Chain A
Amino acid sequence: MTEQTDRVLDGKCPTGPLADRWTKHKGSIQLIGPINKRKYHIIVVGTGLAGASAAATLGELGYRVTAVTYHDSPRRAHSVAAQGGINAAKNYQNDGDSTHRLFYDTIKGGDYRARESNVYRLAEVSANIIDQAVAQGVPFAREYGGALANRTFGGVLVSRTFYARGQTGQQLLYGAYSSLMRQVDGGNVTLLTYKDMLDVIVSEGEARGVVLRDLKTGKVDALTADAVVLCTGGYSNVFYLSTNAKKCNVTATWRAHKKGATFANPCYTQIHPTCIPQEGEDQSKLTLMSESLRNDGRVWVPRKKDDPRAPADIPEADRYYYLEEKYPTFGNMVPRDVASRNAKYVCDDGQGVGATKQAVYLDFKDAIARLGEDTIRARYGNLFQMYEKIVADNPYKTPMKIYPAPHYSMGGLWVDYDLMSNLPGLFVLGEANFSDHGANRLGASALMQGLADGYFVIPYTIGPYLHANRARKPLAADHPDVRGTVEAVEAKTKRLLAINGKRSVDSIHRELGMVMLDKVGMSRTAEGLTEAIEKIRALRAEFWENVRILPTEGDTLNMELEKAHRVADFLEFAELLCHDARARNESCGGHFREEHQTPEGEALRDDENFAHVAAWGFAGVGETPVLHKERLDFEFVKLTQRSYK
């Protein structure tokens, strides 16, 4: 394996006191005058929290923005499905919260694998996000006196999570979306819907535009600009069954990677502890039950293996509240990676419940006895209803059955402090980048990061790049690099359509998912990862020989073709994920290597050798990728074994 310590991996973080870094950095940034802003064209790909907020805010500043989504409307982006809440260091509850504490919780929650400067900035701007959302009309939960309400989330000891019933992501997205539509109304933002980004146009080493395929007509076109901002979400669908929406994919970031952008920490995937367990073979996706349920629900399994009794008939003495017993301080509110891993342990031990024995109970009996059913309904009504719809079981009466499911990807394209990838001109925001969560993301932090990047970071940090290239015009449509990229996308589409084999795209994707979940899921071994790479390669070959796409034309809506492009990329990306997981010879956060654990089964880090960001360069499909490292220096927090006991 080639290893390099490369200059491209300078995170360009400011120095000095942590609390002053962002202010200092903003103060030193090259400003662009209001009149000159009109001259710059910025493409924002994706319209989730990061994309919509970035496009809206850049539009407000006066840039010419084109916002791109493959959906029929920006409002469909999967941010809409985030349930529980958004963190902010407001300290409205007077319970000792502060910017520093949010910073610390996030760094620790991420198992010390994130940049201090970035995380501190995130904590710093978190409070402004809430202000902005309220001004947009986001109906956050309120106390009777009219003040904002908060709840607590996993991995922290304060209540700093703002929420809007169990639909916080939806409301925040609609807030950002309304700001975006305001800019569309005002003419600063051009909205392109039904456009799938299939490549980045790179010329002389810099990102100069994107190639879009119109999903309704199949037409492939180039769109050039002064800068490209990718806000294209995460890659959890590499596991096929995940809590992500069906269309979520790695294509935009993967194709940027193939054009030179390094992909950082792909092995940091989050398996969310509270999801509805898989029911059968035909299931198409997994549904998350908000982590906020752990505020009032108690997780347990029967002490006895294969206990045949109904949960209500099992007396207290025979119930194993494993999280409460093992982690008395945090109890059911341990971080996600810990909760998930422990669910896996008890199920592996044969204590699992339900038909598949791959589930644990999440029980509201005590909370209902304490608070009454009405209070529980007010807090989680929509979640309970959703559960009942899917499972046909009443969670007010019988405990929910839950099991971990792939949910979020902390890894993503490598970016510096300005959120620019190593490809100049290519900025990456939100889940698509790797930056702020380290090896595990705490609950209610994804919304925070997406919106922080879009509302409060990129509007400042994009300036210097634009200014530095002010003399340059966007590439013309007939530029060889533009034409070449368009033609390559067209050729790839043609190639896919021409295979005309026997297997559907979904069947191959499902098989990939099974390999990934089995070998690269909640726990990994070097041996298993090597095996997985072999299987992925075989499956990729199978795909390119035997996939069948219908309709066979690409000039109308063709959802099988859309999926084929995405699965083709997953089949390449999956291999990188395995490489990264195999190279990271330690356990940290969501990345758990069985070879590296404490006697109690907790993740065992190796700070001496792995306190770095692993950013991979593309070397060709099936080739060993090139590793670049960015060292993580911790000046303000002490690296300790994470303890939630």
Chain B
Amino acid sequence: MGDTISLTLEVWRQPGPLAKGRFQTYEVKDVSQNISFLEMLDLLNQRLISEGIEPVHFEHDCREGICGSCGFMINGQAHGPDLGTTVCQLHMRRFKNGDHLVVEPWRARAFPVIRDLVVDRASLDKIIAAGGYNSVNCGNAPDANAMPIGRDTAEEAFDAAACIGCGACVAACKNASAMLFTSAKVGQLAMLPQGQPERSHRVVRMYDEMQALGFGACSWTQDCEAACPKEISVKWISRAKRDYLKARFKEGL
């Protein structure tokens, strides 16, 4: 099944956070089209190690598109050309023999490069820590069926909750904004009755934290939605924004 192809990769190499980086070109020969992009990089790394060259560092873990660890730009596209796909689920059958691919890390002030294609996304955790939760202590939850939640509501909340925190939205945004990431969490909790008590405070804190961490604002280019491997809609940005304005200007928070 499938043929083998050869590619030219232009990969960002940067030995450490403070080191100067540069692009390095590698030829990759005769890789099966059935393997994933990361497995292709594995092969490259095996070869590099055997040649005594430091392997290309990239973040990865589950390799089934759910942990959110992996992600970099391939020819200017976050997670590569496929829609709704993390780079670990991107297969080489998507490429043609002789393709020239530029592979770069996520670029954002809030995502400093650690090494090669690995960036530090701790800022996303900080946004969640700024209220991206329901304040409910273990033990004081009412019966799960005590509060009926319509199927459509639950499903829609899930659409937002599906965010894997990979950072592709930030990377793809011309403003390096984390609006989609932040708004998806705001929106998920705002959909559900359990999220109501803290709804206004949550959105104000999370939005302000996002801004303070050095992410940009939303210019509504919608590149985030297109880059999102979980295809989270930009509608969540509108909704969260309305919550923010309401909290700020109506409720005076």
A557 touching B115, Cβ below 8 Å = yes
Of the listed stretches A35-43, A75-83, A426-434, chain B binds A75-83
Give the interface segment out of A144-152, A439-447, A520-528, A610-618: A144-152
Q: Which of B114, B142, B151 contacts A144 (CB 8 A)?
A: B151
Once the chains bind, are A131 and B142 in contact (CB under 8 Å)? Answer: yes
| Also in contact, A355 and B1, with CB within 8 A (given A137-B192, A246-B61, A287-B64) | yes
- Give which listed residue, B50, B62, B137, contacts A81 with CB less than 8 A: B62
Q: A182, B133: Cβ atoms under 8 Å?
A: yes
Contact A171 B150 (CB under 8 A): no
B45 to A: closest C-beta gap in Å: 8
List the A side residues contacting B147 at CB < 8 Å: 134
Q: Contact at A504–B50, with CB atoms within 8 Å?
A: yes
Among A57, A165, A280, A560, the residue within 8 A (CB) of B138 is A57
Across the interface, do A139 and B154 meet the contact criterion of CB distance under 8 Å? yes
Q: Chain B residues near A507 (CB, 8 Å)? A: 46
Q: Verify if A73 is at the interface (C-beta below 8 Å from B).
A: yes
User: Roughly how many angstroms separate A308 CA and B92 CA in the complex, as a whole number?
Assistant: 28
How far is the CB of B38 from the nearest CB of chain A, in Å?
Answer: 7
Q: Judging by beta carbons under 8 Å apart, are B144 and A284 in contact?
A: no
Whole-angstrom distance from the CB of B15 to the nearest CB of chain A? Answer: 6
When the two chains form their complex, are residues B161 and A174 in contact, meaning their CB atoms are under 8 A apart?
yes
B:23-58 near A, CB below 8 Å: 31-32, 34-36, 38-39, 42-43, 45-46, 48-50, 52-55, 57
**A99: CB under 8 A from chain B?**
no
CB of B240 to closest CB in A, whole Å: 15
* Residue A74 interfacial (CB < 8 Å): yes
Interface pair B68/A76, CB less than 8 Å apart? yes
A132 beta carbon closer than 8 Å to chain B: yes
Take A132-B138, A506-B42 as given contacts and tell me if A557 and B149 are in contact as well, using a CB distance cutoff of 8 Å: no
**Contact assessment for A559 and B151 in the assembled complex, using a CB-CB cutoff below 8 Å:** no
- Answer yes or no: B195 CB below 8 A from chain A CBs: yes
**Residues from chain A with Cβ under 8 Å of B48 in the complex:** 550
A141 to chain B: closest residue by CB: B154
Residues facing A in B130-153 (CB within 8 A) are 130-145, 147-151, 153
Number of residues on chain B facing chain A (CB within 8 A)? 84
Assess whether A142 is in contact with B67, with CB atoms less than 8 Å apart: no
- Set of chain B residues within 8 Å of A280, measured between Cβ atoms: 32, 34-35
Minimal Cβ-Cβ distance residue in B for A72:
B121
Whether, in the assembled complex, B164 has its beta carbon less than 8 Å from a beta carbon of chain A, the answer is: yes
A99 CB to closest chain B CB, in angstroms?
Answer: 15
Most A CB contacts (10 A, CB to CB) among B39, B64, B194 go to B64
Given contacts A139-B154, A282-B35, A506-B46, contact A80 B67 (CB under 8 A): yes
CB pair A550 B49 closer than 8 Å: yes
Query: Within the complex, which residue of B60, B84, B137, B165 is in contact with A60, where a contact is CB–CB below 8 Å?
Result: B137
Q: Within the complex, what minimum Cβ distance (angstroms) separates B185 from chain A?
A: 8
B contact residues around A506 at 8 Å (CB): 42, 46
Instruction: Out of A143, A171, A559, name the residue touching B158 (CB < 8 Å).
Output: A171
Q: Is A494 an interface residue when CB atoms closer than 8 A count as contact?
A: no
**Assuming the A-B contacts A72-B122, A279-B34, A386-B89, are A132 and B62 also in contact, with contact meaning beta carbons closer than 8 angstroms in the complex?**
no
Nearest B residue to A79, CB-CB: B67
**Min C-beta distance of B85 to chain A, whole Å:** 7
Contact partners of B151 in chain A: CB under 8 A: 141-144, 146
Is A7 an interface position by the 8 A CB rule? no
User: What separation, in Å, do the CA atoms of A170 and B67 have in the docked complex?
Assistant: 8
Is B16 an interface residue, CB under 8 A from the partner?
Answer: yes
Q: Is the C-beta of B212 less than 8 angstroms from some C-beta in chain A?
A: no
Q: Does B91 contact A (CB under 8 A)?
A: yes
Chain B 75-90 per-residue mask, 1 if CB under 8 angstroms from chain A, else 0: 0000000001100010
Chain B nearest CB, measured from A591 CB (Å): 27
A557 touches B61 (CB 8 A): no
CA distance A142 to B154 in the complex (A): 7
Once A56-B138, A71-B61 are accepted as A-B contacts, the answer to whether A170 and B66 lie under 8 Å apart by CB is: yes
B49, B65, B132: the one contacting A504 at CB < 8 Å is B49
**What are the interface flags for B163-185 relative to A under an 8 Å C-beta threshold, 1 for contact and 0 otherwise?**
01100000000000000000000
| Residues in chain A near residue B65, CB distance under 8 A | 386, 389
Q: How far, in angstroms, from A279 to B91 measured CA to CA in the complex?
A: 13
Check: A236 CB closer than 8 A to any chain B CB.
no
Instruction: Give the CA-CA distance A247 to B32 in the complex, in Å.
Output: 24
Query: Which residue of chain A lies nearest to B47 when distances are taken between CB atoms in the complex?
Result: A504
Give min CB distance, A188 to chain B, whole Å: 11
A146 in contact with B150 given A76-B68, A132-B136, A137-B188 (CB within 8 Å) = yes
Whole-angstrom distance between the alpha carbons of A142 and B188 in the complex? 15
A137, B189: Cβ atoms under 8 Å? yes
Interchain CA distance A548-B50 in the complex, whole Å: 8
Instruction: Give chain A nearest CB distance to B228 CB in angstroms.
Output: 14
Chain A contacts for B133, CB-based, 8 A: 136-137, 178-179, 181-182, 185
Q: Are A456 and B115 in contact (CB under 8 A)?
A: no
- Contact check, B59 vs A72: say whether CB atoms are below 8 A apart: yes
Contact B46 A131 (CB under 8 A): no
Q: Is B63 an interface residue (CB 8 A)?
A: yes
* Cβ–Cβ < 8 Å partners of A147 in chain B: 145, 148
B49/A392 in contact, CB under 8 A: no
Q: Knowing A136-B136, A139-B188, A284-B42, say if A550 contacts B52 (CB, 8 Å).
A: yes
List chain A residues, Cβ under 8 A from B136.
Answer: 132, 135-136, 179
Taken together as a complex, chains A and B put the C-alpha atoms of A392 and B68 apart, in Å, by: 22
B62 with A145: CB separation less than 8 A: no
Knowing A80-B67, A92-B145, A550-B55 touch, does A73 contact B124 (C-beta < 8 A)? yes
Q: Are A134 and B141 in contact (CB under 8 A)?
A: yes
Verify if B3 is at the interface (C-beta below 8 Å from A). no
A130 & B144 in contact (Cβ 8 Å cutoff): yes
Complex: A288 Cα to B15 Cα, angstroms: 35
State whether the Cβ of A285 lies closer than 8 Å to any Cβ in chain B: yes
Q: Which residues of B contact A78 (CB under 8 A)?
A: 61-62, 67
Q: Are A76 and B61 touching (Cβ within 8 A)?
A: yes
12 further A-B contacts with Cβ under 8 Å, apart from A146-B151, A247-B61, are A72-B69, A72-B122, A80-B67, A80-B164, A128-B139, A137-B157, A140-B144, A179-B136, A181-B128, A285-B63, A386-B65, A504-B50
8 cross-chain pairs, A with B, having the tightest CB-CB distances, nearest first: A146-B148, A178-B133, A135-B141, A131-B141, A557-B115, A139-B158, A134-B144, A142-B154
Q: List 15 A-B contacts (CB under 8 A).
A: A72-B122, A75-B67, A78-B62, A81-B64, A128-B139, A138-B161, A142-B154, A167-B162, A182-B133, A279-B34, A282-B39, A282-B43, A389-B89, A455-B138, A557-B16
